[in-house]
Homo-oligomer: A and B are copies of this chain.
Amino acid sequence: MARPTGRELKSEVMTEASLAIQRRGVGGLSYGSLAERLGVRAPSIHHHFRRKDELVLAVTATYCAEFQARVVAIDEPSPTDRIRRYAELFDEVATDGRLCLCGAVAADWSSVDDEVRVLVSTFFADQAEWLRAQVLAAIADGELADAVEPARLADALLAALEGSLLVRRADVEPSGVARLVDALLDLGAPAPA
């Protein structure tokens, strides 16, 4: 049972591997535990991904593509609402103590090869770029004060989102990251309440 025709094992492996990296880091990912979780033997995974590097690379590429797809699907009319929705994506992708996969890779930066690093660098650059565009639009719409420097605030938002996933692991009663972004957006509201 469990492993029938077996054509779907490859994608199952990738799904589990992504969760494992987000939970325990790249170093915490092992073929053994992965195999056990899937009810398979380690060599079966080696058949699909000969080296661990290949698995990490494939998982990272898929994660970046899927996340980006969800970002471009955001269609709120208000720029600041788009940013709030964006923060929710982080919550969704990182439930119960998981990190953003790219954040987890960055944490294990010294143990991943260059191909993976390039993907992660591009991911962060893309996120900052998207956020910058939203901040720019928010200023144009009067939702943020025009004293705000778009690129700087975008970087701060991204750092805060990635960092909050890290910090909340140590929180006794962790909350979502959305309220944190609210704080920053309220901060930049043009009309002093």
Contacts and interface: CB of A to CB of B under 8 A. Distances in A.
Contacts of A188: 187-188
B110 A23 contact: yes
Interface residues of A, number: 57
Interface stretch (A8-16, A41-49, A72-80, A163-171): A163-171
B25 A108 contact: yes
A162 B152 contact: no
A126 to B, nearest CB: 11
Contacts of A186: 147-149
26 contacts: A23-B110, A24-B111, A25-B108, A102-B170, A103-B163, A103-B167, A107-B107, A107-B108, A107-B166, A109-B170, A120-B170, A121-B170, A121-B171, A121-B172, A145-B192, A152-B179, A152-B180, A153-B187, A155-B167, A156-B180, A156-B183, A159-B163, A160-B160, A184-B184, A187-B187, A188-B188
The list of the 8 closest CB pairs from A to B, nearest first, reads A163-B163, A152-B183, A107-B107, A159-B163, A162-B163, A159-B164, A160-B160, A27-B27
